[in-house]
Structure 1
Amino acid sequence: MLPILPVILSGGSGTRLWPLSREAYPKQFLPLVADGEDTMLQATWKRAAPVAGRPPIIVANVEHRFMAAEQLRESGTTPEALVLEPCGRNTAPAIAVAALIATRESQDALLLVLPSDHVIRDDHAFHAAVHMAATHADAGKLVTFGIVPTGPETGYGYIKAKKGGGVMDVERFVEKPDLDNAQRYVASGDYYWNSGMFLFKASTYLSELRMLNPQIVSACEAALADAARDADFIRLAPEAFAASPSDSIDYAVMEKTTRAAVVPLDAGWSDLGSWTALWEVSDKDDRGNAHHGDVIQINCTDTYAYGNRLIAMVGLKDTIVVETDDAIMVGHRDSMQDIKEIVSRIKRDGRSEAAAHRKVYRPWGAYDSIDNGTRFQVKRITVKPNATLSLQMHHHRAEHWIVVSGTAEVTRGDEVVLLTENQSTYIPLGVTHRLRNPGKLPLELIEVQSGSYLGEDDIVRFEDSYGRA
């Protein structure tokens, strides 16, 4: 049998879990489940590792490349490939690129396709389902994992299986139903929730996709042929990849192929598609409350709270409260799907809270915008050991740097100086400068910006270790 090669899809924005999940730092990079410190991406790989015959292929958004690489490094693995999408084109092209890599750069493989933001409580049941599916996938089936429904859920698509046991042929895929149809599907015992997880040979998937939607394959081949290699990353050619039709694997292949099969999976699965879903999979007290962080509650029932500062809740029922450094979200559990409307309004108003947190992560470390006003901004900056910011200058702002801890090597024009704790420097407007941490411990400093314009786009990069110049 061919080796199993996990393909982990990590390109989503996760805005349904706003304000914790945002475009620049979506849910797959967050540790959302309370019983572990692993992020969703890390948990996905660790769950797949026992059945994997090769390191994973990761498909991620180009803006998330360093987060994905760092989190996998922390998990003790180096991906077989870390593919960067210049734009989102849905799952069919993303999987096609992974399949092309599997067949061109190595032998064929069984691709275990996994979204990076799902919860599975019973790893043993998941592994058993993968082993059951593997024989059929090796024989040419496109196997999907159908979740044994726990109720008439209207938020998922359904899969109707032909009569049988074990791995069954698919009779049809069904769009998200209304409540009456969902109740009928569950009562019949023939339907499963569509999980978005698959197992098939790379060559089989490409063969079916080439027959059913050849434009996707052609575009992905061109994007991979002209891809740029950047350290551990494969940067798909932007124009070629953007030319691919944007389509899900369900529409492009699974609903049309004659090779579709489904294996039932009863393993405590959730796609964490809303705060209500996260409440459902969280550990709760005897009144149904699931609280994470510093929370005091009095007479609350079936509530969820997540935050860093003190959250005080009195007499609430069926309520979700989420607190971050720059936003608070409060809502009824039954209305959590409407968060997308909040995010849309934030974008329409030109606000930044839809895209980024107050603390922004960079490949060299992070900065936290702790205060701002007319013509000034204050940031707390952390630089990793041996990391270096770009050589840059600003047209509209000057900067003051005060070292809190660690050692800073500062390039300022033609001058290079070392600063240690409680020392400071001034970068005048228009002067080329660079910051480096030459030490073995993190560098922490306070940056005070002053000027007529303080936006992040007022950066002119001349040199950069991370390909941003």
Structure 2
Amino acid sequence: MKIILLSGGSGTRLWPLSSDNHPKQLLKLLTDEQGHPVSMLQKVWEQLKRRGLHRSAVIATAAGQRETILAQLGDDIDLVLEPEKRDTFPAVLLAVAYLNSHRNLQGDEPVLVMPVDSMADDSFYETVFRLPEALERSQANLALLGVKPDYPSEKYGYMIPDEAPGTWEKPIAVRRFHEKPTKQEAVELLKRGGLWNGGVFCFRAAYLLDHLKRLELPLTYEELLLGFSRIAVQSFDYAIVENEDNMAAIVYDGAWKDLGTWCSLTEAMRSPMLGNGVMTEDCRDVHVVNVTDMPVIAMGLTDVVVAVSREGILVSGKKSSSRLKDALRLMQSGQPRDIPAEGIWSKTLDRECLEDGTTVTTRKIRLEKGSSLFHSEAGSVVRAVAWTILHGACTLRKNGAAIPLQTGATVVLERDDAGEVLALEPLDLIEVSTVYV
């Protein structure tokens, strides 16, 4: 079995903390069993490591998220770097092509695809990893994970099974889907045995490789990189799932939460206050998340989330936070700017995919004092980088040697070099990164 983790979204529903380069799944808003702050991606990765499945996994993500992911998970991982954002359907196709080219993917081998922005207990993952068995038993083209609903939610899509409730001991056929219903529609869907769509699915490798052929797209990773812009901007659900007649599902009946909105995320946070702030005793069901040095005081509030970053400030009733995308459209300032994560700010200036599949990305980066920027090989990805210091002082550790650098210095690290820039003071630099195929 191969596993594809989808970690490429920007998570605008968690503005102002999330952005293209620092999306919700990389923000350290959760805690591990020891109480240390961790991200959604780190939570899922730890579940894979416990089961020895991380060696079978690749992470499909945007090129701008590379450094943050390496800092959180280490450099011994496989990243499939998308040259541009084109939704989950192109991301899955590119990841399958990568597995086909670099991980010896076999046509009858099951491929499990799952997002990283959900919260669940161990039994959820035990159910997820039964999907390849369900695919084999049902002889379906797709095996899906259906979550047994706790209540008639309007936030989730539903899958409608062929079988009546109470007969879910084995894989069941899926009749159709219903996207984000009204409250009354959700009540009726529950009566008919409707399941929340958990966003997890499994297929045989040949199923997607054949789809690439039908679209007249290449099966190799390097060639598909060049043709990536030709793939329609679509979700996997819309492009594949909703057009497939032969599907089966297995049911998970336990705690599960999609952490896509502030309302759901705050329910998963152990502490109501993250960052510099004070909350008075007359606050009820209030969460404050502050990633700036400015102090925040919350007084006399009920059922409210307050989120503060360099990008902006959100004050919202928790139930209203699901409408955040609509509010962002009203902002005259346009798309949110890049915001800090791990002490790093970055802005992508240019990205180009060359004829041989090599990708060259130019970014402006700022590091706070004490922050680091790394260069190394990541799994099968081979990369060279050039850093030019615009302002500030730093120490470059290159292949074990420490080299002081000042404003105006340029350093190049080739494919086989290992290096780290450690900011001795606030540091601005330009990075030209070359990812070879």
- Secondary structure of the structure 1 residue equivalent to 2:217: helix
CA distance in 2, matches of 1:382, 1:16: 28
CA distance in 1, matches of 2:340, 2:54: 37
- Secondary structure of the structure 2 residue equivalent to 1:445: coil
Q: Which amino acid aligns with 2:178?
A: V
CA distance in 2, matches of 1:345, 1:197: 33
- How far the C-alpha of 1:273 sits from its partner, in A, is 1.4
CA distance in 1, matches of 2:375, 2:159: 51
- Secondary structure of the structure 2 residue equivalent to 1:219: coil
- How far the C-alpha of 1:157 sits from its partner, in A, is 1.0
Provide closer, same or farther for how the CA distance between residues 350 and 152 of structure 1 changes in structure 2, counting only shifts above 3 A. closer
2:123 maps to what in 1?
124
Provide closer, same or farther for how the CA distance between residues 317 and 193 of structure 1 changes in structure 2, counting only shifts above 3 A. same
CA distance in 2, matches of 1:260, 1:343: 37
Q: Which amino acid aligns with 1:42?
A: Q
* Residues 167, 261 of structure 1: 8 Å contact kept: yes
1:233 maps to what in 2?
none
Which blocks of at least 5 consecutive residues in structure 2 are unaligned?
347-361, 377-383
* Residues 40, 116 of structure 2: 8 Å contact kept: yes
* Residues 10, 28 of structure 1: 8 Å contact kept: yes
Q: 1:329 aligns with which of 314, 336, 356?
A: 314
- How far the C-alpha of 1:103 sits from its partner, in A, is 4.1
Q: 1:295 aligns with which of 264, 278, 289?
A: 278
CA distance in 2, matches of 1:243, 1:257: 22
Which blocks of at least 5 consecutive residues in structure 1 are unaligned?
228-235, 285-289, 369-378, 394-398, 410-416, 450-455
Cα displacement string for residues 405-437 of structure 1 (whole angstroms, at most 9, x for unaligned residues): x7479xxxxxxx9759xxxx6x5xxxx632699
Cα displacement string for residues 63-120 of structure 1 (whole angstroms, at most 9, x for unaligned residues): 222323343317xx422xx211122222222222333344454142321111122222
CA distance in 1, matches of 2:64, 2:177: 33
Question: Counterparts in 2 of 1:65-464, with a 5 A limit?
Answer: 65-73=66-74, 77-79=76-78, 82-105=79-102, 106-108=104-106, 109-120=109-120, 122-131=121-130, 133-139=131-137, 140-141=139-140, 142-163=142-163, 164-165=167-168, 166-188=170-192, 190-207=193-210, 209=211, 214-215=214-215, 218-219=216-217, 221=219, 224-226=221-223, 236-237=225-226, 240-283=227-270, 290-293=272-275, 294-308=277-291, 309=293, 310-346=295-331, 348-349=332-333, 353-357=336-340, 360-361=344-345, 367=366, 382-384=371-373, 390=386, 392=388, 401=392, 403=393, 407=395, 433-434=409-410, 442-446=422-426, 464=432
Normalised TM-score (structure 2): 0.76
- Sequence identity, in percent? 25
CA distance in 2, matches of 1:184, 1:176: 13
CA distance in 2, matches of 1:13, 1:65: 14
CA distance in 1, matches of 2:161, 2:385: 54
CA distance in 1, matches of 2:374, 2:155: 45
Q: Which amino acid aligns with 2:10?
A: S
Provide closer, same or farther for how the CA distance between residues 243 and 328 of structure 1 changes in structure 2, counting only shifts above 3 A. same
- How far the C-alpha of 1:129 sits from its partner, in A, is 4.3
* Residues 110, 138 of structure 1: 8 Å contact kept: no
* Residues 386, 439 of structure 1: 8 Å contact kept: yes
Normalised TM-score (structure 1): 0.72
- How far the C-alpha of 1:170 sits from its partner, in A, is 0.4
* Residues 303, 317 of structure 1: 8 Å contact kept: yes
- How far the C-alpha of 1:324 sits from its partner, in A, is 2.2
Provide closer, same or farther for how the CA distance between residues 11 and 197 of structure 1 changes in structure 2, counting only shifts above 3 A. same
1:42 maps to what in 2?
42
- How far the C-alpha of 1:336 sits from its partner, in A, is 0.7
- How far the C-alpha of 1:44 sits from its partner, in A, is 1.7
* Residues 326, 357 of structure 1: 8 Å contact kept: no
1:63 maps to what in 2?
64
Cα displacement string for residues 22-45 of structure 1 (whole angstroms, at most 9, x for unaligned residues): 122111111222345332122222
* Residues 112, 199 of structure 1: 8 Å contact kept: yes
The structure whose Rg is larger is 1
- How far the C-alpha of 1:383 sits from its partner, in A, is 4.4
* Residues 102, 202 of structure 1: 8 Å contact kept: no
Highest relative contact order (Cα 8 Å, sep 6+), 1 or 2? 2
2:349 maps to what in 1?
none
- Secondary structure of the structure 2 residue equivalent to 1:186: helix
CA distance in 2, matches of 1:97, 1:153: 33
Q: Which amino acid aligns with 2:175?
A: E
Q: Which amino acid aligns with 1:390?
A: A
- Secondary structure of the structure 2 residue equivalent to 1:338: helix
